[in-house]
Structure 1
Amino acid sequence: MPPACANVEPRPAPSAPIAPVRRAYHRWVASETLEDYALRYTPRRFRRFSAARVANTAFGVASFLVLEAVGATLMLQFGVVNAVAAILVAGIVMALVGWPICVAAARHGVDMDLLTRGAGFGYLGSTLTSLIYATFTFIFFALEAAVMAYALELALGISPTWGYLLSALVVIPLATHGVTLIGRFQLWTQPLWLALMLLPWMAVLVQDPGSVARWLHRDGAVLAADGFDGHRFGAALTVALALVTQMGEQADYLRFMPPQRPGRRWRWWLAVAVGGPGWVVPGVLKMLAGAWLAHLALEHGVDAAHAVDPNQMYRVAYEHLLTPGWAVAATALFVVVSQLKINVTNAYAGRA
Structure 2
Amino acid sequence: MAMARILGTICLGLALAIAATFARLFLKARAGHRAAEEASRAQTERLCAEIAAHRETEAALAKAKDAAEAANAAKTRYLVAVSHEIRSPLNAIYGYAQLLERGDSIPPREAGGVIRRSAEHLTNLVEGLLDISRVESGVLQVRQELVRLPALLDQVVEMFRVQASAKGLSLDYVVDGRLPAYVRTDEKRLRQILINLLSNAIKYTETGGATLTVRYRSQSAAIEVRDTGPGIPAEDLERIFEPFERGREPDAMMQPGIGLGLAITRVLARILGGEVTVTSDVGKGSSFLLRLLLPEPIEAPAGTAAYRRVTGYQGPQKTILVIDDSPAQTTVVNHLLRPLGFSVFEASGGTAGLALAEHCSPDLVLLDIQMPGTSGWDVADQLRARFGAGLRIVMVSANAHEFHAGRDGRRAHDAFLTKPVDLDALLDMIARQLGLDWIVEDAELVAAPPPPPLALPETAAPYLDALRRFMKLGHVRGIETTLVTLERDVPESADLVARLRPQLEAFDLRGLARTLDDVG
Looking at secondary structure, tell me which structure has more strand per residue. 2
- Computing the radius of gyration over CA atoms, which structure comes out larger, 1 or 2? 2
Looking at secondary structure, tell me which structure has more helix per residue. 1
TM exceeding 0.5? no
